[in-house]
Structures are given as C-alpha cells and as structure tokens.
Amino acid sequence: MATARDIMTPDVTCIGANDSVLVAAHKMAELGVGALPICGPDERLRGVLTDRDIVIKVLAADKDPAETTAGELAQGEAVTVGADDDASEILRTMSSHKVRRLPVIDGHTLVGMVSQADVARSLPDPAVGDLLEALSAD
C-alpha cells in the first residue's frame, strides 16, 4: 500500500509563526495554495493556516491581517501523519479529524503535505469516496 511519502507533495513552504497573516496570504497567492504549515523559530510545526482561517478568524472578525500573526491562529497540536504511514492511516486521520490537508513529518521534520487531491490522484475510487463522505458529513 502507498505511504504518505509516496503520495505527498514535497518541498512544502512554511509560514513563520511570527509572520503576519497578510504575509501568509501573499505567500499563498504566490504559491497557488490554500494552506501553509506554520513553523516556529525552531523550525518545528506549530499548525496549519488555511485561506478559510484567514477569512473567518481574521477578516470576518475585523482583525488586521497585517497585525495578526500566523502563530496566533495555530490551535493546539497540529494533526500530522508520519512519512512512512500507509494510506489507510492517512484516510483514518483525515476522516477522524475532518481535515483536507495533513502535514507529513519524518521524526520532527516537516517533509511534505498530503491533500485531499493527492489522495484522490493516488488511491482507489472507493477509498476516495469514503474520505469525501467523511469530510462532508456534519
């Protein structure tokens, strides 16, 4: 069975925990992505910032994106998957945590991201259908 390392998108760009949400939004636009891992000064993963987070937690809350840091939006421990975890673990983690993107770590090092699109391209249709159903359920 495929592992996270097999299906992930490598070479992920982090946003610093102390960088503003405005900088993060510009970086998302430049890279054409909807999420960025948030990394602390120690290069450890702190969370994931999504375009939806920016809209809901910053703009709709009337916060200044130039003054709000990415780290302020990191909540609790990031949900991750190990680089050598198999596809069933990826599906289980995405489904149980209702996330569409998972940072892939090797030890404590961020090595990539697995997105719902990566899963759709790499796994059989029934597995993808089950994931979509789990992510769409209330």
* Domains of the chain listed by start with CATH number: 4-136 (3.10.580.10)
Distance of CA 16 to the CA centre of its chain: 14
**Overall pTM > 0.85:** no
Residues 98-136 have pLDDT tens digits of 888 999 999 888 999 998 888 877 766 555 555 555 555
Tokens for 30, please give them: 């430049």
Strands, E assignment, the chain: 9-10, 15-16, 35-39, 45-50, 81-82, 101-106, 109-115
Residues 17-44 have pLDDT tens digits of 999 999 999 999 999 999 999 998 877 8
Nearest to 80 by CA among 135, 132, 8, 130: 8
Nearest to 35 by CA among 78, 77, 88: 78
